[in-house]
A = this chain, B = another copy of it.
Amino acid sequence: MDTTTEKPPQHRVVVIGGGFGGLYTAKALRRAPVEVTLIDKRNFHLFQPLLYQVATGTLSPADISSPLRSILSRSKNTSVLMEEVADIDPDRQIVKLREQELPYDTLIVATGVSHHYFGNEHWKDHAPGLKTVEDALEMRRRIFMAFEAAEKETDPEKRKAWLTFVVVGGGPTGVELAGAIAELAYNTLKEDFRSIDTTETRILLLEGLDRILPPYSPDLSAKAEETLTARGVTVQTKTKVTNIADQVVTIERESGVEQIPSQTILWAAGVKASAMGEVLAKKAGASLDRSGRVIVEPDLSLPNHPNIFVIGDLAHFAHQSDKPLPGVAPVAMQQGEYVAKLIQKRFQDKTLPAFSYFEVGSLAVIGQNAAVVDLGFIRFSGIIAWFVWVVAHIYYLIEFDSKLIVMIQWGWNYFTRHRGARLITHREAVRQPPEEKMQVTTEEKMPVEV
């Protein structure tokens, strides 16, 4: 297809995925002479960086989600389709949905990643990850259920297992989760129980490399570990997880192999590409990296398919440095805006220089008043870092009411140490002895993402 010919309103842009990448593409095209269709399996955009706060009872899913139709409702050239993409045909230039086919002139694939259990998919039932709203609600259920179960448990060994939380993965997600659970156990829930003392809770953060927050500079990693430890988290680096079974984690360290009895094991360790990566490999000749991510050209398109772009977490972009760009929100946002601009440039028979990511910085929060910030030219931690983290996250929330609600919830949490969303929903513990729990979770298992 000759994309350099100007095509007034009939140029059809199909965007698959309503996360940061797809959404920012669509928004940036709202005044362009194109017809945009945004497809997503869900009807809302999810602000994933704050999912861990849904999992630990501070925020509700709706606080960090915005209906896609609502965000795009004023973009009159854009329609939203709640559908799942089964396949694509690059020769006919169509996207195959469940019951219809959608033709495109330009296709943008931004379907992100899902959990990766390094070949041990059966670990999924024992150690939920944190990518979707349902993931977060399941984590929340398990976390708060553990304290309830401990309260009723008379056997001291079993009670200890209920009060042992294992977070696998020392990246930002794992650090934030572990820090938040520590706040629950050592602060929020302290006065709420009568049989147990929640300050006896053990929270383990396991990381295979030699330090947590590996993408950050070593001094920030050290600071984060110091803060986490001071707040009650036991950080174990150079620790590999070799097995996860019902109620027990097996780890391997220099000192040998160890088994940790725990009722609540949370996965924050690995991601792999969504299934669209494979589809593009099979149908469009795309090359994939080891995680299944699609290797893209300097302008984010596929080799031999200048009208198919891959952006966001699904893309492997290694033209800026020897390491591919990380799967973080600002990368996806900037790539989305770049592609939108490129499409419009092409109408004028122009093009753009290669995509170049402008890294603002990296932020990770540890808990109240504590975060680490790496802006490249400057790195700092502590309460000012925490404040920067707060402001940045409020800024990036899409809808104004989300910003307001989240600020209220955070303000409330800060001043009262209460958390506003500590609900156990979608299965009461009393109907689930531990042996049954795994079966039920399997029924609830989220389908593999497209």
Contact = CB atoms under 8 A, between A and B. Distances in A.
A87 interface: no
A44 interface: yes
Most B Cβ at <10 Å: residue of A69, A79, A133: A69
A423 interface: yes
A425 interface: yes
A65 interface: yes
A350 interface: no
B428 A41 contact: yes
Contact of A44 (B83, B194, B423): B423
Contact of A418 (B42, B148, B401): B401
A42 B430 CA distance: 9
A153 to B, nearest CB: 10
A122 interface: no
A82 interface: yes
A422 B70 contact: yes
A408 interface: yes
A90 to B, nearest CB: 23
Nearest to A71: B192
A321 interface: no
Contacts of A191: 73-74
Most B Cβ at <10 Å: residue of A62, A194, A405, A429: A62
Contacts of A409: 401, 405
Contact of A426 (B98, B194, B426, B428): B426
B423 A82 contact: no
Contact of A401 (B84, B137, B420, B425): B420
Interface string A38-75: 00011110000000000000001111010101100110
Interface string A158-185: 0000000000000000000000000000
- Chain A interface size range: 35 or more
A114 to B, nearest CB: 14
Interface in A325-367: none
Contacts of A284: none
B428 A144 contact: no
A246 interface: no
A412 interface: yes
A197 interface: no
Contacts of A61: 60, 421, 423, 425
A162 to B, nearest CB: 13
Contacts of A83: 152, 430
Interface in A398-432: 399, 401-402, 404-405, 408-409, 412, 416, 418, 420-426, 428-431
A190 to B, nearest CB: 9
Contact of A408 (B62, B134, B189, B404): B404
Nearest to A430: B84
Given A60-B62, A84-B430, A412 B423 contact: no
A221 to B, nearest CB: 34
Contact of A43 (B60, B79, B422): B422
Interface in A376-404: 399, 401-402, 404
A200 to B, nearest CB: 17
A105 interface: no
A443 interface: yes
A194 B69 CA distance: 10
Contacts of A418: 70, 399, 401
A447 interface: yes
A62 B423 contact: yes
A67 B412 CA distance: 15
Query: Which 7 A-B residue pairings sit nearest by Cβ, starting from the closest?
Result: A62-B421, A60-B60, A69-B192, A79-B194, A84-B430, A82-B148, A60-B62
12 contacts: A42-B428, A43-B422, A44-B424, A62-B422, A67-B423, A80-B194, A81-B152, A82-B151, A82-B429, A134-B425, A401-B409, A405-B408
Interface of A: 41-44, 60-63, 65, 67, 69-70, 73-74, 79-84, 98-100, 133-134, 137, 144, 148, 151-152, 189, 191-195, 399, 401-402, 404-405, 408-409, 412, 416, 418, 420-426, 428-431, 443, 447
